Amino acid sequence: MAHRPNYILPVAYNMAGYDPALSQRLFDDPSLTAEDVEVRFQISLKLPLLANILDRNVDLYAAYTSQSFWQLYSSGGSAPFRETSYEPEAWLQFHPEWNVFGFTNTITALGVNHQSNGRGGVLSRSWNRLFATVVLEKGNLALSVSPWYRLPKVEDIDYNSDITDYMGHYELRAVYRWQDHVLQVMSRNNLESGFSRGALEVTWSFPLWGYPYLKGYARYFSGYGENLIDYNNYVQTIGIGFALTDWL
C-alpha cells in the first residue's frame, strides 16, 4: 500500500541556490556545478505484517521510503543523482477512536525509523529514531503530531552529530481534502529552534481533467533538512509535477 505520497517533480527549483562546493566534493570533480533546477521524486510503500494482534485492534506495519534528487539538467551531461535517501521503518499501530475536542484519534503509532544516504566516509549521513505518531481526524481535516528520539550512534564517528539541531525532535502536519484537491502543510523544528533552523512544507495535489490514475502535484519547501547530505544548508524550493498517491 502507499505510505507517504508517491510523486515526481520534473521541475524543482531551489531559489536559494545549491552550494557547488558540496557537489564537487560528492563527485570528486572540482569543475562540477550544481544546477538549481533538478528532478525530485519519492517512492513510499508500506506492508501490514500482522493485523489485530491478540484481538487487541493493534497492527504491525513495515514501510520503505526513498527520496531522490536528480541533476537531470546538469550542464556537464552526466546527470548525476545529487542525493538519494533510504528510509525503512516499522511500527505498531493502534486505533483508539478517542474523541479529543471534536476530533477522533483514529491512529496512534509507536515505531523505529532508520534514514541514511548510503554513502561512506565523510559523506555518510544517517540516523536512527524511536517515534510516535498521533493522528486526529474531523471531517475532511486530519492533524498529526510526530515526536521522536534519536538513538545514539553505535559507530565512533558521527558525520551528522548535530542533525537534531536542524531536524528537531518533532513534526506537525495538517492535511485537508476538498473534493479531489488535497492541501498539506508541515512544520518541523520551528518552535524548538526559535524559527531559526526549522522547515515549512506546503503541497497541493489536484485533478488532471478527470484522469483517474494521476494527479497534478505542487510543492513548496523552505528551511533545513530537505535531504540528508545538506541537512544543515538552507534551501527554498518550489516544484511542479505529478502524484500517484497523496496523504489522503
**What is the set of active-site residues?**
114, 116
Contact predicate 220/9, CB 8 Å: no
d(C-alpha 133, C-alpha 109), whole Å: 5
The helix (H) or strand (E) run that includes residue 88 is strand 81-94
Query: How far is CA 158 from each of CA 29, 82, 120, 126, rounded to the nearest angstrom?
Result: 25, 21, 11, 9
Residue 113: is it exposed, middle or buried by C-beta count within 10 angstroms (0-12/13-18/19+)? Answer: buried
Residue given cell 540516523 in the structure block? 127
Task: Give the separation between CA 187 and CA 189, rounded to whole angstroms.
Answer: 7
For CA atoms 163, 161, 228, 59, the dihedral sign is negative
**DSSP string spanning 175-216?**
EEEETTEEEEEEEESTTTTTSSS-EEEEEEEEESTT-TT-EE
Other CB atoms within 10 Å distance of the CB of residue 208? 15
